[in-house]
Amino acid sequence: MIAPVTADRLVKVTSQEYVAAARPDAEVTVVTLDKGPASIESRYEESLAAPGVVAKAVQAEKEGVQAVISECMGDPGVDAAREMVTIPVIGPAETSMHIAAMLGHRFSVVTILDRLIPALHDRATKTGLTGQLASIRAIGIPVLELDDHARLLRALIDQSVKAVEEDGAHVIILGCTGMAGLAREVEKGLKKRGIGDVPVIDPGILALKIAEALADMGLSHSKRTYPFPPQKEIIGY
Amino acid sequence: MIAPVTADRLVKVTSQEYVAAARPDAEVTVVTLDKGPASIESRYEESLAAPGVVAKAVQAEKEGVQAVISECMGDPGVDAAREMVTIPVIGPAETSMHIAAMLGHRFSVVTILDRLIPALHDRATKTGLTGQLASIRAIGIPVLELDDHARLLRALIDQSVKAVEEDGAHVIILGCTGMAGLAREVEKGLKKRGIGDVPVIDPGILALKIAEALADMGLSHSKRTYPFPPQKEIIGY
Amino acid sequence: MIAPVTADRLVKVTSQEYVAAARPDAEVTVVTLDKGPASIESRYEESLAAPGVVAKAVQAEKEGVQAVISECMGDPGVDAAREMVTIPVIGPAETSMHIAAMLGHRFSVVTILDRLIPALHDRATKTGLTGQLASIRAIGIPVLELDDHARLLRALIDQSVKAVEEDGAHVIILGCTGMAGLAREVEKGLKKRGIGDVPVIDPGILALKIAEALADMGLSHSKRTYPFPPQKEIIGY
Amino acid sequence: MIAPVTADRLVKVTSQEYVAAARPDAEVTVVTLDKGPASIESRYEESLAAPGVVAKAVQAEKEGVQAVISECMGDPGVDAAREMVTIPVIGPAETSMHIAAMLGHRFSVVTILDRLIPALHDRATKTGLTGQLASIRAIGIPVLELDDHARLLRALIDQSVKAVEEDGAHVIILGCTGMAGLAREVEKGLKKRGIGDVPVIDPGILALKIAEALADMGLSHSKRTYPFPPQKEIIGY
Amino acid sequence: MIAPVTADRLVKVTSQEYVAAARPDAEVTVVTLDKGPASIESRYEESLAAPGVVAKAVQAEKEGVQAVISECMGDPGVDAAREMVTIPVIGPAETSMHIAAMLGHRFSVVTILDRLIPALHDRATKTGLTGQLASIRAIGIPVLELDDHARLLRALIDQSVKAVEEDGAHVIILGCTGMAGLAREVEKGLKKRGIGDVPVIDPGILALKIAEALADMGLSHSKRTYPFPPQKEIIGY
Amino acid sequence: MIAPVTADRLVKVTSQEYVAAARPDAEVTVVTLDKGPASIESRYEESLAAPGVVAKAVQAEKEGVQAVISECMGDPGVDAAREMVTIPVIGPAETSMHIAAMLGHRFSVVTILDRLIPALHDRATKTGLTGQLASIRAIGIPVLELDDHARLLRALIDQSVKAVEEDGAHVIILGCTGMAGLAREVEKGLKKRGIGDVPVIDPGILALKIAEALADMGLSHSKRTYPFPPQKEIIGY
């Protein structure tokens, strides 16, 4: 699992969630990038993170890892990395939108900042699932402040309630992998507010479980869609 | 796993495939219906199978089963059963289309008979994934003749080659759960024909792996989309 | 005309509306099912009703009936019945959505219960008309309480006004065939509320008029889309 | 029924078809324009025909006519006329696409000239039904040569067979109202070529039957979509 | 540039804006129609204007003009004129929607009257850009009252703020070419209301700049889409 | 204009084309990247080029440049760069698709290699224009061999003819900016093959002309869609 950031402290807590969620026979490692932004809150930062994600994916495959996850809701570097390896490369945004579309009539994504909405919407457009997208909402808390757990949870529940009542969401996707481990708590919060029938998806953990499933089946991305790039001179990487 | 047919012999071979594909800690049972058609090759037969699928799903939940699969590419009774239980009810068609859309640019479904194409296309329309659907092709062999293994495999490979070369498919979905266990063989056949870069999805086995993943996460369908039906008089069931 | 329910009292009033709406040279009969739910308010109940609708359609064709209607906004059994007969089988939901799309910029459906919205939305998706769908709204009154005429009418007008003013609807479809005969009254109610330019469609009666039109032209469903099912063993029906 | 052309001879034969198709209690009149093109084979000619269609629709409503049809597959003047009258104004292209979408999985339009394909496709886009459109094909015969009946019929059948076999059409729409009365003959021709399961729609006659149905119900276009234009100075009309 | 109206006073002010916006080496002339409506506020009036637009486009091409613009947000006569000439014929609505879609996540159109919304929406549907359309809003001021500059500007800013805050617009298109020259003022007004990050498009001026770009490149409309109409008798034009 | 490659020789010829195409009062400079791939033929290489494109765009804005173009049909770095500057950042793929959609019924892109088709298709999906996309075809010649002018031209014409005749294209987009300056020659070649009515778009030159148009109008991308990224620690750039 590749956390496409350079700030190690961001992945400390979430790493534990991933290890806890993995099957007993699955080994999960979370690595951060050598080069790139401290956190990802823009397409600019995604573009800086992508080359590092690819490098880590290539290295992981060499080390015998069976699947990698670009652990960020921007799915940074996912398409590029799929070209460079043959093991599955999972994007949490893409994966959680597909599974959410299977679980209910319409889903909403509750992300951190308004500024991320267009890029998340583009991702939904790419998957073809905009017809099932009820809304994308933001809680207004930047990544580096997500460790105020009570404030985060309250904001997530508030926006999830609005997504259900005002936008018609039947499923909620947590919109930042930095929220890993909170899905059940948000479900409980919704229940207290009278909404006991809406599942909440933790996209990083879902990505992990789908990675397990694909690895079990020996399924990976189509190399017809993601062929190896031609060999050529590359400067500076 | 509910095989929505009454012909027991149909599920003998495929049952073994499911058991083999399951995780060591997962127990898989395949049951057939008490009432319904011998096999499913029409919407009429789907409508006859649906009440039985629901009944079996209700029974399974009572017995502590954690997830059920309506083991047929028509996904018969899936929406109805989701209303009557709280455990996940998985449809192989819907599931394999979503995962195929994640694995490559476009996917094709290779089913048994031309007559099934409109219903499969409707299913793709419901998922929102028609933009990623390259084609639906048929091999022209009815369900009850699928046990001629060599003929089946040859026909599947022929149509898969056409899906790739003529329709632009980058991923193939086997279009009938009666083909369970053949995905790897079709991949090999494609490779021999010069197409080594196209994954082939076995929808029943994929449904099983996704069921395992959802059960692990405690995720199920939205009861806001699939609320319990009201209590009322029902005659004849 | 097949009322896919077992509660005879439900069809008493609506039958009169259909007879009154028919052309002088057309004979209309409303039959209920022998087996199935008292009323339809879920996909589960639709699945229980479908086999009965098919059986009644087959019988009707044998008796020389020229077209049948599955008189419910879930269009239960319509696809299956089209396979078993050659006469037109009309679904009120599908039909009213197509005609509404012709009559104005956008239409809304005003149905009985929130729980029916996802299935109605799926029906709109299947027709391809979601771009013209302004909204689906519910009045919160179950089928078996529709006989409180004043309450029903008030609720229909309230929701129709909201559909027009908040959702941008230019045409209203009554969302339950149990509301047969109320379209003109809802139009009058809208006029009193200052909305004199929005037509209201009675889906059951519209289905009847379209059935007459198709029968006149000798047009029916494509048997290439709805071929006769193969002969095979069926248990329990 | 307004034939939006100035060449009277074009409507002689088709008029008889409309009269024959009408219900005994319905009176059908076909009028041609005072000003406009001899026939319509371009968007330019449609633009010249539109003002005349509106004028004739206004006159028809004054004379007590209950519904008007712009008898051409370009639906010329339909939107404009709907603003100027309150009776239904029917476009054969729009109407036949909606009904075709109800009758089968996918439909094709077989028109006269390649040059009409983009405009017909735009019409399908406007209805929202491009997902159900298998193809638009042309027979390569201009309007003014449609009276060579044998040549016309042969060409229609040839292109209809291709629409079915190569494009996957399950329903055929005749793509020019000048072909009125030929639907049954094309169906017969298809049957001789082994395609006995594809209905053929005569768009002018269908428009007439839908006009009858709407008139019976007192339904017309939404004046919220098509409000009366403001009064103002108009030069030259 | 063809103003598809007969009221000369309407184009006096806007003409100056176009001349000012043109490149130094480009000559811009604004002509009005000989026949047609004083202003355009309905599809009826568009249909009356279209023949005149075509005639003026033909005349312009003969006089050596390199590109023509139908200066109205209904794009009247654009498709028809493209058939009759080989120089580019630009529609401000179509052009501004495409460019707006390039400049930001979603765009809104702020037009004059509610009654124009369906036709503008149809135009968006034809371009394929409804997924990027946030909303179409109206200021409730008819064309002939647009010369009250302060009232117009206030209303434009009010509706633009609502488009941004309530509908999620990131780009605004002025919805009537009679508003030419106001884009910068609306941007300033938005800035004062705290919205400094939303570009406002002046569709007539944009059409002019795109016309310059196409003329520079020698690019024009595809004559395969817009072939010359056949020669035939036309009465009354 | 930013050529997102490190191989200087690639931009020698095309630079001259851009200078020749620019308005007399416009100054065009083509710069290559300091770091990145020699040429771009994969999403991996796009990801390596993106950070360099952003850096060059930031530098260009500082130097007073009025608009920048990422001169590659992958539009690499375009979204990221729009966040970091306020001047327009133009992507040739996005721009040429929007303008092609305005010029004719359907367009095709003729690119260099099959492997680029999925990414180009994703770009079309993002624009919303897949309904107007006839096909994406490849000539099978890698970037670094594009300097065999005769071979390139022959291959472009061959595939363009197929796009028109087999896929129904009415407009052709050259699918690689390395083909700059060839549009008129391909048009001539099409004419010799009997296709004189299909415009061919040179995407780099079109991007330049649209940049001129936007700069003239003072229009740029919405900073609401592309806000400046937050300040934070970035390692390695």
Question: What is the pLDDT, as a whole number, of residue B15?
Answer: 87
SS3 content of chain D, % helix, strand, coil (to 5): 50, 15, 40
Q: What is the pLDDT along chain D (237 residues), one digit of tens a residue?
A: 787 888 777 777 788 999 999 998 889 999 999 999 998 999 999 999 999 999 999 999 999 999 999 999 999 999 999 999 999 999 999 999 999 999 999 999 999 999 999 999 999 999 999 999 999 999 999 877 888 899 999 999 999 999 999 999 999 999 999 898 899 999 999 999 999 999 999 999 999 999 999 999 999 999 999 999 998 888 988
Out of D35, D50, D236, whose CB is closest to E36?
Answer: D236
**Which helix (H) or strand (E) is D155 found in, with range?**
helix D149-165
Q: Are residues C102 and C33 in the same domain?
A: no
- E contacts of D125 (beta carbons < 8 Å): 125-126, 128
Do A and B count as touching (3 or more CB pairs closer than 8 A)?
Answer: yes
Total domains present in chain A: 2
- Residues F35, F51 contacting (CB under 8 angstroms): yes
E195-233: pLDDT as tens digits: 999 999 999 999 999 999 999 999 999 999 999 999 888
> C4: which chain B residues are within 8 Å (Cβ-Cβ)?
none
Domain membership flag for residue E100: yes
Residues of E in contact with C198 (CB under 8 A): none
Asked if residue C157 lies in contact with residue C189, where contact means CB atoms within 8 angstroms, the answer is: yes
pLDDT, tens digit, 9 for 90 and up, residues E160-204: 999 999 999 999 999 999 898 899 999 999 999 999 999 999 999
Give me the residue label for tokens 């780009």: E171
pLDDT cut 90: percent of chain B above it: 82
Asked if C35's CB is within 8 angstroms of B235's CB, the reply is yes
Q: Tell me the count of D-E CB pairs closer than 8 A.
A: 129
Residue E157 belongs to what domain range? 93-203
User: C216 in contact with D at a CB cutoff of 8 Å?
Assistant: yes
Are D101 and D130 a contacting pair, CB within 8 Å? no
Are B117 and D131 an interchain contact pair (Cβ–Cβ within 8 Å)?
A: no
- Does E45 contact D229 at a Cβ distance shorter than 8 Å? yes
Q: Is residue D128 part of a domain?
A: yes
Instruction: Indicate the pairing of strand F31-32 with strand F2-3.
Output: parallel
pLDDT grade for A178, boundaries at 50, 70 and 90: confident
Residues 6+ apart with CB under 8 A from B225: A103, A104, A105, A170, A171, B82, C118
**Is D223 an 8 Å CB contact of chain B?**
no
Note the pLDDT of residue C144. 79
- In this structure, the answer to whether residues C55 and C103 fall within a common structural domain is no
- State the smallest CA–CA distance between residue E105 and chain A in angstroms: 6
Question: Does A232 contact F38 at a Cβ distance shorter than 8 Å?
Answer: yes
Predicted pLDDT of residue B127: 94
Chain F residue nearest residue D120, CA to CA: F105
- CA atoms of A237 and D236, how far apart (whole Å): 71
Same domain flag for A97 and A63: no
pLDDT score at A55: 96
Q: Examine residue F182 and state whether it is found in any structural domain, yes or no.
A: yes
* pLDDT at residue B204 greater than cutoff 90: yes
Tell me: the pLDDT tens digits for E15-73?
899 999 999 888 999 999 999 999 899 999 999 999 999 999 999 999 999 999 999 99
Same domain for A119 and A80?
no
B97/B86 same-domain check: no
CATH number at residue B144: 3.40.50.12500
Helix (H) / strand (E) element for D135: namely strand D133-138
CA distance A201 to B217: 9
Domain assignment of residue F222, yes or no: no
Contact B197 A21 (CB under 8 A): no
Residue E140 DSSP SS3: coil
Q: What is the 3-state secondary structure (H, E, C) of B126-154?
A: HHCCHHHEEEEEECCCCHHHCCCHHHHHH
| Residue B31 phi, psi dihedral angles, 5° rounding | -115, 150
Q: Does A118 touch chain E (CB under 8 A)?
A: yes
In the predicted model, is pLDDT for residue A74 greater than 90?
yes
A/F Cβ contact: 3+ pairs below 8 Å:
yes
Q: Is D55 helix (H, G, I), strand (E, B) or coil?
A: helix
B110 and B79 both lie in a single domain: no
ipTM, two decimals:
0.96
pLDDT in tens, C191-223: 999 999 999 999 999 999 999 999 999 999 999
Beginning with the edge strand found earlier in the chain, give each strand of the sheet holding F171-174 in spatial order: F133-138, F107-111, F171-174, F200-201
Q: Which of B1-15, C37-51, C181-195 has the lowest mean pLDDT?
A: B1-15
Which residues of chain A are within 8 Å of residue E170 when distances are taken between CB atoms? 118
Query: In whole angstroms, what is the distance from residue B182 CA to residue B153 CA?
Result: 8
**C69 and C161, same domain (yes or no):** no
Report the 3 state secondary structure along chain F.
Answer: CEECCCCCHHHHHHHHHHHHHCCCCCCCCCEECCCEECCCCCHHHHHHHHHHHHHHHHHHHHCCCCCEEECCCCCCCHHHHHHHCCCCEECHHHHHHHHHHHHCCCEEEEECCHHHHHHHHHHHHHHCCHHHEEEEEECCCCHHHCCCHHHHHHHHHHHHHHHHHHHCCCEEEECCHHHCCCHHHHHHHHHHCCCCCCCEECHHHHHHHHHHHHHHHCCCCCCCCCCCCCCCCEECC
Beta bridge mates, D232: none
Using an 8 Å CB-CB cutoff, list chain F residues near D125: 131
Nearest to B102 among A94, A103, A198 (CB): A94
- Residue C40, in any domain of the structure: yes
Q: How far is F118 from chain B (nearest CA, A)?
A: 6
Residues 29-88 of D with CB under 8 A from C: none
Tell me the chain A residues in contact with residue C121 when contact means C-beta distances shorter than 8 Å: 105
The mean per-residue pLDDT over the stretch F135-152 comes to 90
For the residues of chain A, what is the DSSP string, one character each?
A: -EE--S-THHHHHHHHHHHHHS-TT-----EE-SSEESS--SHHHHHHHHHHHHHHHHHHHHTT-S-EEB-STT-TTHHHHHHH-SS-EE-HHHHHHHHHHHHSS-EEEEES-GGGHHHHHHHHHHHT-GGGEEEEEE----GGGTT-HHHHHHHHHHHHHHHHHTT--SEEEES-GGGTT-HHHHHHHHHHTT--S--EE-HHHHHHHHHHHHHHHT----TTTSPPPPP--EE--
Q: Do chains B and F touch (3 or more CB pairs under 8 A)?
A: yes
The answer to whether residues A148 and A57 belong to one domain is no
Same domain, A155 and A209: no
Question: What pLDDT, on the 0 to 100 scale, is given for residue F58?
Answer: 97
In 3D, which of C107, C102, C186 has the Cα closest to residue C139? Answer: C186
pTM: 0.96
| Assigned domain for A159 exists | yes
Chains in touch with D (3+ beta-carbon pairs under 8 Å) read B, C, E, F
Is E220 in contact with E87 (CB distance < 8 Å)? yes
Q: Are residues E102 and E71 in the same domain?
A: no
| D133 & D184 share domain | yes
Q: How confident is the model at residue A129 (pLDDT cuts 50, 70, 90)?
A: very high
Residue B176 sits in the same domain as residue B115: yes
Tell me the chain D residues in contact with residue C132 when contact means C-beta distances shorter than 8 Å: 128
DSSP structure class, residue D116: G
B and E interact (at least 3 Cβ pairs within 8 A): no
* Within-domain flag for D224: no
Residues recorded for chain C: 237
Q: What average pLDDT does this structure show over C141-163?
A: 92
Q: Do C234 and B37 touch (CB under 8 A)?
A: yes
- Nearest Cα neighbor of C152 from C112, C95, C100, C199 is C112
CATH of the domain at A64: 3.40.50.1860
C-alpha R_g of chain A = 17
Residue F217 to residue E198, Cβ atoms within 8 A: no
- Among D25, D95, D104, whose Cβ lies nearest the Cβ of C225? D104
- Domain membership of residue D20 (yes or no) is yes
